[in-house]
Amino acid sequence: MTLLLAQMQAIPQSVDYVRILPELVLSIFGILVMVLDPLVDEEKSQKTLGYIGFIGTIAALLSTWYMAQSPGLAFSNIVRVDSFSIFFTCLVIAIAAVVILSSFEYMAVQRIRAGEYYALILFSVVGMVLMASAVELVMIFIGLEISSISTYILAGFRRHEASSSESSLKYFLLGSFATAFFLYGVALMFGATGSTNIDIISQKLQSGSVGLLVYAAMAMMFVGLGFKVAIAPFHIWTPDVYEGAPAPVVGFMSTAPKAAAFAVLLRVVFAINAPGRFWFLWVAAALSMALRNAGALVQSNVKRLLAYSSKAHAGYLLVAFAMTTQENSATGISAAMFYTAAYAAMNVGAFAVVSHFANSGERFVNLEDYEGLGRSSPLLAATLTIFLLSLIGIPITGGFFAKFYVFSAALRADLVWLTLIGVVNSAIGAYYYLRIIVVMYMRESRKQVPVTPVPFGLATALAVSIFATLYLGILPNRILQLAQHSAQDLLPQPPAAAAQMPQPAPTSVH
Amino acid sequence: MNTDHLSPYILTLVTFVPLAGALLLVLLPRRDRDIRIFSLVVSLLAFGLSLHLPVHLHRGQPGFQFEIDKPWISSPNIHYHMGTDGISVWLIVLTTFLTPLCVLISWKSVRDRVKEFFILLLILETALIGVFTSLDLFLFYFFWEATLIPMALLIGVFGHERKVYAAVKFFMYTMIASVFMLAAILWLYAQTHSFDFVTIRDAIANHQVANFPAAAQWLFLGFFIAFAVKVPLFPFHTWLPDAHVEAPTAGSVLLAGVLLKMGTYGMLRFNLGLFPDQARSNAPWIIALALIGIIYGALVAMVQPNMKKLIAYSSVSHLGFVVLGIFSFTTAGLNGAMFVMLAHGVSTGGLFMLAGVLHERRHTYEISEFGGLASPMPVYAASFLFIVLASVGLPLLNGFVGEFLVLSGAFQAKPLYGTLAATGVIWSACYLLWMFQRVFYGKVTHPVNNSVSDLLGFEKAAIWPCAVAALVMGVAPIMWLAAIDPAVQAALTPFAQVVSKVVVQ
């Protein structure tokens, strides 16, 4: 007890604050938006708040760069800055920046008072960044809650629509249930190993025998995280939630919280070197890939369709998790990280187009509304096509290399059947993305669907997404090397190397 | 002329000139005439550049030439490795030869979304050439998949009534088949840490690949299924008639002329090159499918009321010859297979263009809608007859040489193969000449047909080069075979003992 007290009294050094600088910057800008919201003019100033939010994300990106100069542990080993956490920090902040840019127009068209919208995005990003960088399960839980609660509210932002409230409520009820599972898992893990620190748990599990309690703890944590990343069989919520939530929010919550949750999952699976995970992950991956095809083929709502697709992508990503040996794990982790980045780029972009096209009250989100878009708005259609091709996994897009890395990692680990299930599903899955392309280019429009010009903010957001999608598809080297580097940081060091590392101070209560 | 300094870059140039043209087209204003002229210039430029390859190819020398090998992505170890030999060089030239003709034949028939059409056509050309030049398996797969989208869009946007159905069917069929190839490629990479064709081939030949004997049959099938759907080998052919009937003329020409050859080229290069033992052991049922394809394709072609469908089924039949030639493992058979590929590209390309000309005037492909066309359209009828005869395999025209070589190879392998395949030659004469008779001879049955105009200038410019090529290829096949033969000999080295055994028998 005294030990814990001593630690709690330990005064944080200034470097500790540097190591959570992005979180601080984002929180400050979030608070700023909230404070300014009642003060500024109703009609005109909504955009100003949005710009403040956008500047906040840019400032956070810059502060991440500053933070990256001083890697290490902070706040009594709760947070660690390493290339792994920096990768995900940059990713979620970048997603938020693009989403904020693409929301300006949406908010104006939907006549939603948007002040707290931008603040909530910033706050949820704070939670995600904490999830990515925390090495303490309790801190991860807090990060998870911060990000989830903000996202629950964001899902219900179309206040006057019943479907949006439904979406928010469903997401909230099921989501809190899932986080409870996660917390229960953390508690069991603490019971089994006497610690909630990932490094210590990892050492304990490597040295000692693994009891039943550890398996139960892993299963609980997996359920909680599985819900967040929407893998089968914890995915049933996605279509309803995605359908009701505002389109830019869907773009946000199908990428950023998932990226953060995958970061946690990577830590839990690989840094702890979770025992007994193999078949668990195998089955979940196979189910996620296969189940969505059944559902997605009959969807006519584009948002629902993309919801089903996000489930499948979570399945492909999960393939990279089913690695067991040290060497394969590194490939698996880097493949998963690359996939997260590529998926973020293409999905945010696709939803930005969908949210622009939805028009007021989200009237135009059905497949038949996209008929003839190739003629009435060729540039927008071409943009969406690039994202869809990337989601299919066609060469020169990021989606191709993402799938490629995942499946080659799986084959290197001799997961031949899982790979076959994956590649066949990705080919079948091409059909429903193709449907969107088909209606855009090969059918004449039967309905009068207004096409408004693309405003500057959205154009920038789309340009960034396209650039990222193609960059990852043509020159994937750099990002992959970053991911490989991070994978080395994440994996527990072999005992010989670990002995030379400074021992993390124990946080257990004895 | 010393052009050796060009040689490492010539393949890159040939491959990417059309793509560069397509990108420039994006920037060009929507003046249809300028766009057409520009596309023609670009495709002719690519053709001119590609002629450098056969001219400067060292014919006696086996192995790849004009190679370029630069690291592209370090991990996984992907190289930008291109090269060509006697097998692929003519397929590259075939692609660049047909594309300008496609531009010409689409001159007037494409009136809507002209810019998009030519952009897609040029992108397709780059992807097709890339398939034949890549020596890195990854790069190969990359171009292989890249051909899908422009082709599917050409069918789906510019096609006829059931275009969407045909485009989606085409896309899904070939996409699903090619992921098996991707899985096989990834497996090879996981074991050898290389995508390089030559490296992998040598590693397999020297038994340096772990777990190879256990997996070899599956790998062979993984590649084979992708190629068999593309060829298309019976029973994977059902996408082809739909795609052809609905495709615009230029799409059909490239589809029949080049896209199908991607499959047979793949079999020759990868199935035979990488897995000689499995190719040998699987040959009987593959040959059986090829023979069924030859006869079934011909019989079905016979009863088609639709001209384009008839030509499509004739492709199934002709491509059966190619597969038969490849899996006969004889020099004559392989030489013949290569020659049939080229001859079929030229003559079937020509037939599709001719059918397109008729559709342009009457908006139908139904044979019963025509009759007695020889009197209103004499030039057209003469051109049609010439190409039909080339396709039938009249001696001194290109179809004869290839089929003769394939048949003699098949006889060497097993007389039964040759006998059965030979009936295919007869069938093809039947259905093509019967079709010609119904369309051109007799009295004009439909009064509308009296007023249809004969071939226009740009149509002559598109079709006659095919006729000329058919004649030259028939008269002087040695010009082509001189380059093909050494490469084929090299491809057959792993089968050497097999060949000699056949000779002894």
Contacts of B168 in chain A (CB under 8 A): 431, 434, 438
pLDDT at residue A28 in the model: 93
Query: First vs last Cα of chain B: how many Å apart?
Result: 49
Burial of B394 (C-beta count, 10 Å sphere; 0-12/13-18/19+): middle
Contacts of A405 in chain B (CB under 8 A): 76
Residue A508 has pLDDT above 90, yes or no: no
Q: Is B187 on the interface with A (CB under 8 A)?
A: yes
The DSSP call for residue B68 is E
Query: Which residue among B141, B175, B187 sits closest to A411, beta carbon to beta carbon?
Result: B187
- Looking at chain B, the number of H-run helices and the number of E-run strands are 22, 2
CA distance B123 to chain A (A): 13
Which ipTM score applies to this complex? 0.77
Using CA atoms, how far apart are residues B415 and B409, in angstroms rounded to an integer? 9
Residue B167 to residue A476, Cβ atoms within 8 A: no
CA distance A85 to chain B (A): 22
CA distance A43 to chain B (A): 39
Q: Which residue of B has its CA nearest to A382?
A: B116
3-state SS assignment for residue A395 = coil
CA distance B56 to chain A (A): 32
Q: Is B190 on the interface with A (CB under 8 A)?
A: yes
Contacts of B75 in chain A (CB under 8 A): 477, 480-481, 484
> Could you read off the pLDDT tens digit of each residue along chain B, which spans 505 residues?
445 556 778 888 889 999 999 999 888 888 888 888 999 999 999 999 888 888 888 877 777 888 888 888 776 788 888 888 888 889 999 999 999 999 988 888 888 888 888 999 999 999 999 999 999 998 899 899 889 888 988 888 888 888 888 888 888 888 888 888 988 888 888 888 888 888 888 888 888 887 778 888 889 999 999 999 988 888 888 888 888 888 888 888 998 889 999 999 999 889 888 888 888 888 889 999 999 999 998 999 888 888 888 998 988 889 999 999 999 888 888 999 999 999 999 999 999 999 888 888 888 888 888 888 888 888 888 998 999 999 888 888 888 888 889 999 888 888 888 888 888 888 888 888 988 888 888 888 888 878 888 888 888 888 899 999 999 988 888 888 888 888 888 888 877 655 444 443 3
- For chain B, the domains span 301-505
Q: Is B148 on the interface with A (CB under 8 A)?
A: yes
CA distance B38 to chain A (A): 22
pLDDT above 90 coverage of chain A, percent: 17
CA distance A1 to chain B (A): 49
Q: Is A431 on the interface with B (CB under 8 A)?
A: yes
Mean pLDDT of A158-185: 87
Contacts of B156 in chain A (CB under 8 A): 438, 441-442
Residue B187 to residue A438, Cβ atoms within 8 A: no
Contacts of B501 (CB under 8 A, 6+ apart): none
Residue A427 to residue B156, Cβ atoms within 8 A: no
Contacts of B182 in chain A (CB under 8 A): 407, 423
Q: Which residue of A has its CA nearest to B215?
A: A416
Contacts of B180 in chain A (CB under 8 A): 423
Residue A320 has pLDDT above 60, yes or no: yes
pLDDT at residue B122 in the model: 92
CA distance A396 to chain B (A): 8
Residue A441 to residue B156, Cβ atoms within 8 A: yes
Residue B179 to residue A419, Cβ atoms within 8 A: no
Residue B182 to residue A407, Cβ atoms within 8 A: yes
Which tens digits make up the pLDDT trace of A109-131? 777 777 788 899 999 999 999 99
Contacts of A297 in chain B (CB under 8 A): none
Q: Which of B474, B470, B483, B448 is nearest to B371 (CA)?
A: B448
Using CA atoms, how far apart are residues A457 and A465, in angstroms rounded to an integer? 12
What region, left, alpha or beta, does residue A327 occupy, with left being phi > 0 and alpha being psi -120 to 50 degrees? alpha
CA distance B262 to chain A (A): 18
* Tally of residues, chain A: 510
pLDDT-based confidence at residue A505 (cuts at 50, 70, 90): very low
Using CA atoms, how far apart are residues B13 and B256, in angstroms rounded to an integer? 25
Which tens digits make up the pLDDT trace of A456-501? 888 898 999 999 999 988 888 888 888 888 888 887 765 544 444 4
pLDDT-based confidence at residue A269 (cuts at 50, 70, 90): confident
pLDDT at residue B52 in the model: 86
Using CA atoms, how far apart are residues B328 and B322, in angstroms rounded to an integer? 10
Alpha helices in A113-197 (DSSP H): 115-133, 137-155, 162-193
CA distance B156 to chain A (A): 6
Alpha helices in A320-360 (DSSP H): 326-358
Q: Is B73 on the interface with A (CB under 8 A)?
A: yes
Instruction: Name the more confident of B498 and A166.
Output: A166
Maximum Cα–Cα distance across chain B: 71
Query: Which residue among B74, B178, B183 sits closest to A420, beta carbon to beta carbon?
Result: B183
Asked if A338 and A479 count as a contact pair (C-beta separation under 8 A), the reply is yes
pLDDT-based confidence at residue A440 (cuts at 50, 70, 90): confident
CA distance A435 to chain B (A): 8
CA distance A477 to chain B (A): 6
Rg (CA), chain A: 22
Asked if A328 and A487 count as a contact pair (C-beta separation under 8 A), the reply is no
Contacts of A395 in chain B (CB under 8 A): 141-143, 145-146
3-state SS assignment for residue A88 = helix
3-state SS assignment for residue B374 = coil
Q: Which amino acid is at B231?
A: V
Contacts of B172 in chain A (CB under 8 A): 427-428, 430-431, 434
Q: Is B119 on the interface with A (CB under 8 A)?
A: no
Residue A393 has pLDDT above 70, yes or no: yes
Q: Which amino acid is at A24?
A: L
Residue A452 has pLDDT above 80, yes or no: no
Residue A443 has pLDDT above 80, yes or no: no
Asked if B7 and B49 count as a contact pair (C-beta separation under 8 A), the reply is no
Q: What global pTM score does this model have?
A: 0.84
pLDDT at residue A234 in the model: 79
Residue B183 to residue A419, Cβ atoms within 8 A: yes
pLDDT-based confidence at residue A146 (cuts at 50, 70, 90): very high
Q: Across the strands, what pairs with B134?
A: B82
What region, left, alpha or beta, does residue A194 occupy, with left being phi > 0 and alpha being psi -120 to 50 degrees? left
pLDDT at residue A141 in the model: 92
Q: Is A434 on the interface with B (CB under 8 A)?
A: yes
Contacts of B134 in chain A (CB under 8 A): none
Using CA atoms, how far apart are residues A48 and B40, in angstroms rounded to an integer? 52
Place of tokens 């909504």: A46
Residue B186 to residue A408, Cβ atoms within 8 A: yes
CB atoms within 10 A of CB A101: 27
Query: Which residue among B75, B143, B190 sits closest to A480, beta carbon to beta carbon?
Result: B75
Residue A7 has pLDDT above 80, yes or no: no
Contacts of B143 in chain A (CB under 8 A): 395
Burial of B363 (C-beta count, 10 Å sphere; 0-12/13-18/19+): exposed
Contacts of B145 in chain A (CB under 8 A): 394-395, 400
pLDDT at residue A502 in the model: 44
Q: Is B175 on the interface with A (CB under 8 A)?
A: yes
Q: Which of B307, B377, B350 is nearest to B473 (CA)?
A: B350
Q: Is B248 on the interface with A (CB under 8 A)?
A: no
pLDDT at residue A4 in the model: 57
Q: Is B171 on the interface with A (CB under 8 A)?
A: yes
pLDDT at residue B497 in the model: 53
Q: Is A394 on the interface with B (CB under 8 A)?
A: yes
**Residue ranges of A 438-477 with Cβ closer than 8 A to chain B:** 438, 441-443, 475-477
Mean pLDDT of A23-48: 83
Q: Is A182 on the interface with B (CB under 8 A)?
A: no
Residue A211 has pLDDT above 80, yes or no: no
Alpha helices in A475-510 (DSSP H): 477-490, 495-500
Q: Is A325 on the interface with B (CB under 8 A)?
A: no
Structure tokens at A167: 């979406």
Element (H, E) at B295: helix B276-302
How many CB pairs lie under 8 A apart between chains A and B? 81
